[in-house]
Each structure stands twice: as C-alpha cells, then as structure tokens.
Amino acid sequence: MLRIAIQNKGRLNEDSIRLLKEAGIAVDDSKRKFLAKVNDFPMEILYLRDDDIPQTVAGGVADVGIVGLNEVEERGCNVDVVKHLGFGGCRISLAVPKNDEYESLDFFRGKRVATSYPNILSRFFERNGINAEIVTIAGSVEIAPAAGMSDAIFDIVSSGGTLVSNGLKEVERVFASEAVLIANPSLSAEKKEILDEFLFRFSAIERGRGMKYLLMNVPSEAIDKAIKILPAMRSPTVMPLAMDGWCSLHSVVNEKEMWEKIRQLKSIGAEGILVLSLDKIVL
Ligand code: ATP
Ligand code: MG
C-alpha cells in the first residue's frame, strides 16, 4: 500500500485528483474524508493542507505527495523530488511599490520585505550579499506595503494581476515553481514497486498529451511520400482499402505540427482525414 498526500482544497487539489484519475486510480473526491482508500490500486489518499505535505512525506506518515516545489524548498525537508508534474506553475518574486525607482538588488539593503517564504528569501539575500529585514507573515502578503508593514514583498506570482491591483511591480523573479511528486527517500521495495507502476502510467499520460491519432485514405502510389511526412512511432500503419489503388494510413502526430502535416498530406492526394484524441501512449 502506498500512501499519497495531496492538497485537500486549494489550487493543486483538482489537478492532483485529475492526475490520479487519468492514471486509472479511482479517487473518491467527496473530500469529506481525511484518509481515503481507492478500489483498484494499492494506494490510499491523505488529504492535507499543502504546508504539511513535505514534512508528512519526510517523516514517513505519507510515502509520496503532490505539492508545489516552493513548499518543498521553503521547508527544506528531506524528500526526493521524483517528478515535475506540469501544473501549478508559478514563481516567487520580489515586488516593490510601483512608483519606487528600482535599479538593482541594492534597493533592498536595509529594507523590510514581507513574505511567507522567509527561508527561500533569506538564502537568496545571503547569496547576493543583501542585508534586509525579513518580515514573516502567513497570508495577504501583497497588502503589507500599503499597510506600512514593509517596503517590499516576496510572494507568489502567476499572472501578476494581484500585484498590479495592489500598486506593486515585480522586479526580481527569484524561484520558479510547479507541482511536483515527492517521495520519502527510504521507501520499502514493495512501495517502490507501486510508485514505479504509478510513474509508468504517468509517463504514458504525459506522452499522450498534445498528441493526435490521424487516419486517412492515401493513393497507393503516394504512400512513400506520406510515410516521409508522418514518421510515427516505429512506422505508420498502412492497410489496403477494398478499392484498388488506395490505402488507409494511420499515425500519431503532435498537435502543434498537425495542421502543417495535414496540408502536406492533402497536397499528395490524401483524403478523408480523421483526427482522433489520444489518451495514453505506452512505448
Ligand atoms: P492550504 O490551505 O493547502 O495551505 P494555500 O492557500 O497555502 O493552501 P494555494 O493558494 O491553494 O495554497 O496554492 C497551492 C500552491 O499552488 C502554491 O504553493 C503554489 O505552488 C501553487 N500556485 C500556483 N499558482 C499560484 C498562485 N497564483 N498563487 C498561489 N499559489 C499558486
Ligand atoms: Mg498553504
């Protein structure tokens, strides 16, 4: 049994549950429970506040967890970052009142900076030889300058809208974060095996992301050209049609290249091109 800690509510909750569901792990997301079993996979789910996830995994109360890299870095817990998950992207930045003149990090010498990430910030200031006062507050960091609690802030930014509406401007991007899968460094062999199966499923989902399944009819004499346009995983599937002189060709393409490929395929005589969504790719 592998116990995974995920956020009980908040920004990472939905995407964490979606990821588990895509991996075929049926999650009961009624959220009323603190600890929930799943039916068809040897996993149980522990719903926690994100602040508590790194420590819970480091201490072995949970085996793995899904949490922002910012929380892992701030808490400095002994966990392995197993996988970057591609959601929950944000950065932690220094921001100052928008009318303040800002040229370099020297701005912060002797200033008060409010943050919920005092460890990441003090390491950053130390690396850059800046002596500033760090004011640690738990939430609503963006209002600290207007409230006279600080001269600047160090806080999470994604679009930057919150900064603007509080009369602030982002001046230094210090730490880039996204949701990560973390694991206790000393998992048993049995738990590692379950984690590997989970990672295997996850990589199939990742590979399928942005990929489309294409099928079309191609004149037999144009098949060689079509294969050059569509390299596929090993090579495209080509099947004869009941009508002489035509084949059916199946392949997988990245959505980004799809329209260009379709244009090229049409120009060599392909017809009846179908584009299907793809869930997972197992190599
Ligand atoms: P909890 O109640 O679990 O402690 P929280 O309020 O601390 O929740 P959320 O606001 O739900 O946390 O954010 C969780 C994580 O989502 C952050 O730690 C960060 O990694 C990520 N994130 C992505 N974009 C943003 C954003 N714009 N603001 C805050 N966090 C973001
Ligand atoms: Mg939190």
Residues 6+ apart with CB under 8 A from 175: 70, 73, 91, 92, 117, 120, 124
Burial classification of residue 20, based on how many CB atoms lie within 10 Å of its CB (0-12 exposed, 13-18 middle, 19 or more buried): buried
CA of 115 to the centre of ligand 2 (A): 13
Residues 6+ apart with CB under 8 A from 106: 130
Locate 176 and state its tokens: 């880039």
pLDDT, averaged across the chain: 94
Judge whether 212 and 253 are in contact, CB under 8 Å.
yes
pLDDT at 31 over 60: no
Closest ligand 1 atom to residue 88 Cα is 23
The CB of 16 under 6 Å from ligand 1? The reply is no
State the pLDDT at residue 231. 73
d(CA 90, CA 139): 17
Closest ligand 1 atom to residue 71 Cα is 18
The CB of 140 under 6 Å from ligand 1? The reply is no
pLDDT at 29 over 90: no
| pLDDT-above-70 percentage for the chain | 98
Q: What domains, with CATH codes, occur in the chain?
A: 2-87+178-207 (3.40.190.10), 90-176 (3.40.190.10), 210-277 (3.30.70.120)
State the pLDDT at residue 206. 87
pTM of the model: 0.87
Q: Which of 48, 66, 87, 156 to mutate to test the pocket of ligand 1 (most atoms within 8 A of CB)?
A: 156
What are the distances in angstroms from CA 92 to CA 124, 142, 151, 160? 11, 12, 17, 11
pLDDT at 32 over 70: no
pLDDT at 16 over 60: yes
Instruction: Please give the average per-residue pLDDT across 53-72, as a whole number.
Output: 98
Locate 222 and state its tokens: 């144009």
State the pLDDT at residue 33. 78
Ligand 1 atom 29: the closest Cα is on which residue? 156
State the pLDDT at residue 157. 93
Q: Which of 90, 157, 174, 182 to mutate to test the pocket of ligand 1 (most atoms within 8 A of CB)?
A: 90
